[in-house]
Amino acid sequence: MRPGETPTLRKVPSPLLDVRIVDAELTETPVGVPGECVIRGPSVMSGYLDDPAATAAAFAGGWLHTGDVLVRAEDHTLSFVDRKKYLIKTGGENVYPAEVEQVIATHDAVQEVCVLGVPDDRWGETVRAVVVRRPGATVTAADIVAWCRERLAGYKRPRYVRFVTAEELPRSTTGKLLRHELAKVQVGPDEAV
């Protein structure tokens, strides 16, 4: 691993499960191309109690759709990319928030970050970063965008940056960041970069 690189968790699938990494048509994705993880086997749930519609959706095509986006390496190990529901589609390109978050989180002035998709008239969706500064640190939206410009493709860089305190981030009782609550907060005119 090179200095500054974020470690990636790699796992080999269980021998008791059939695991595939697929596109929207359930076609296996090539090595190195992200896709949804679908599974089947004797230890997989049989469905949702009293909810046949949810069961049918979860088992579309005969496979349990996990909602996790993974990528397969040449050695058949799998790496987590992001959750499918968090995917941002901007101008026909896919942006995985976790990738943008990893880049922004490496900035010395950033304590925490959450990246979301927001509606955009031109691109369909665009990238918004909600950033918590480290105590005593100074960083501007322009600094965040410049940091991303050096490390990410142009379509992945945030078009909106909102700074909040750690206490303003909505969390569950277990401390998990509630991304869906952040998504409800309207983009302010001062956030555009």
Question: Read out DSSP for 108-152?
Answer: TTEEEEEEEEEEETTTEEEEEEEEEEPTT----HHHHHHHHHTTS
Distance separating alpha carbons of residues 65 and 123, to the nearest angstrom: 28
pTM metric for this prediction:
0.81
Give the pLDDT score at 10. 58
Inter-residue contact 64 to 45 (CB < 8 Å): yes
| Domain containing residue 128: CATH number | 3.30.300.30
- 73 shares its domain with 97: no
Task: Check whether residue 78 and residue 91 sit in a common domain.
Answer: no
Domain boundary among 69, 85, 101: 85
Which one, of 179, 73, 57, lies nearest residue 129 by Cα? 179
Are 150 and 165 in a shared domain? yes
User: CATH number for the domain including 55?
Assistant: 2.30.38.10
* Domain extent for 52: 10-85
CA distance 75 to 139: 41
Residues 55 and 91 in one domain: no
pLDDT of residue 3: 45
The C-alpha angle 13, 28, 23, rounded to 5 degrees, equals 105
Clarify whether residues 91 and 184 are in a common domain. Answer: yes
Determine, yes or no, domain membership for 106.
yes
pLDDT per position in the chain (193 positions), as tens?
344 444 555 565 667 889 999 999 999 999 999 999 999 999 899 999 999 999 999 999 999 999 999 999 999 889 999 999 999 999 999 999 999 999 999 999 999 999 999 999 999 999 999 999 999 999 999 999 999 999 999 999 999 999 999 999 999 999 999 999 998 988 888 888 8
What's the confidence (pLDDT) of residue 193?
85
